[in-house]
Amino acid sequence: MPRLDVGPIGVTLDVRSDGGHLDDAAMLESLGYSTLWILGGQLATLDPLRDVIRVTTTVPVGSAIIPARVYAPEDVVALRRDLETTDPGRLVTGLGGAHGDHPLRTMNAFLDSLDAADPPVPAAARVLSALGPRMLELSRDRAAGAVPLLVTPEFTADARRILGDEATLAVMEYVVLESDPRLARDTVRAPIGFLTRVGGYPKNLRRMGFTEEDIAGLSDRLIDGLVAWGDIDTVAARLKRHLDAGADQVVLVVRPTDPNDVPRKEWHALAEALIG
C-alpha cells in the first residue's frame, strides 16, 4: 500500500495536566513539523489525541502508541469514527504494546477486530510499533508501516529492507541539544533505562549488538548508539543517517536537560535547522 504522507520531521508532544500542551501543539504545527505524535505512556485515555487534533488545523497526529493490552479494538474504532467525522484523515493510528506471551498472535487478533469493525480502521491508516523481523513483516502486510523507538541507523536500514519500498517507516529518536557528554547522556538515562525493561526492547538491543553489560549499566556506548545528542549540526547529521538509511520520517523525542522544562527553545532551534 502507498506510504503515508507524514513528512520528514515529526515531533512528540508531552501531555500536561494544565492543558499547556495544546498551545504547544498549535506552536509546533506553525513551526512546520510534519506530524505530531503522542507517546503511549501518556495515553491514560485517548482524549489527548482528539484534543490535539482539534486545536490544530491540518497536521497529522499520531499515537505512538495505543497499547493493545490497555485498550480494546472497540476503543480504537470509536476514536477513529469520531475523528473521521470532524477531521478526516488527520489521525495516524499507531498500535503496539502487545507484550507478554504470543505478541504476534495478540496483534493479529487486534488487527482482525479492526478489519471487521463497521466502519473498519483500514490498514492504510495504521502503523505498528515494530522491532523484531516478524513484527516488521506484520507492519508491512497488515498496516501502512512501522514506528520503532530506541533503534540505531543500522536498524533503520534493516527495517527498510524488510518493509520494502512501499511501507512507511517513521523512526523515533531521542534528541538532547547539549554538547556536554555527561549531561547529555544523563538526560536520557532514566527514560531509556525504563524501556530496557519493557517488552521486546531488551531483545532488540541485543539483536543490534549491545551487550548485557551495556543494557544493564546503560553504558555510554548504548546511549551514544541510540540518541542524537550534541550541537545542532551533530544532531542533524545523526538524523540524516536515519533518513539516508530509509526512514521516511524521523520523530524527534526532545528531552531538555532540566526535566522540569518544556523544550520550546529546542523545538524552535531544531525547526529552524531542519525545516527552515
Long-range contacts of 44-47 (CB under 8 A, 24+ apart): 46/71, 46/75, 46/76, 46/79
What predicted TM-score, i.e. pTM, was given to this entire model? Answer: 0.96
Sign of CA dihedral 153, 156, 157, 158: positive
Please report whether residue 72 resides in a domain. yes
Please report whether residue 25 resides in a domain. yes
Please report whether residue 78 resides in a domain. yes
The pLDDT tens digits along the chain (276 residues) read 678 999 999 999 999 999 999 999 999 999 999 999 999 989 999 999 999 999 999 999 999 999 998 999 999 999 999 999 999 999 999 999 887 778 999 999 999 999 999 999 999 999 999 999 999 999 999 999 999 999 999 999 999 999 999 999 999 999 999 999 999 999 999 999 999 998 899 999 999 999 999 999 999 999 999 999 999 999 999 999 999 999 999 999 999 999 999 999 999 999 999 997
- Give me the number of domains the chain comprises: 1
Please report whether residue 92 resides in a domain. yes
Please report whether residue 122 resides in a domain. yes
What is the distance between the alpha carbons of residues 227 and 173, in angstroms, rounded to a whole number?
6
Please report whether residue 243 resides in a domain. yes
Which amino acid would we find at residue 170? A
Domain of 256, CATH number, reads 3.20.20.30
Residues 150 and 215: beta-carbon distance below 8 Å: no
Please report whether residue 180 resides in a domain. no
What is the distance between the alpha carbons of residues 152 and 227, in angstroms, rounded to a whole number?
8
Instruction: Domain of residue 35: give its range.
Output: 9-174+232-274
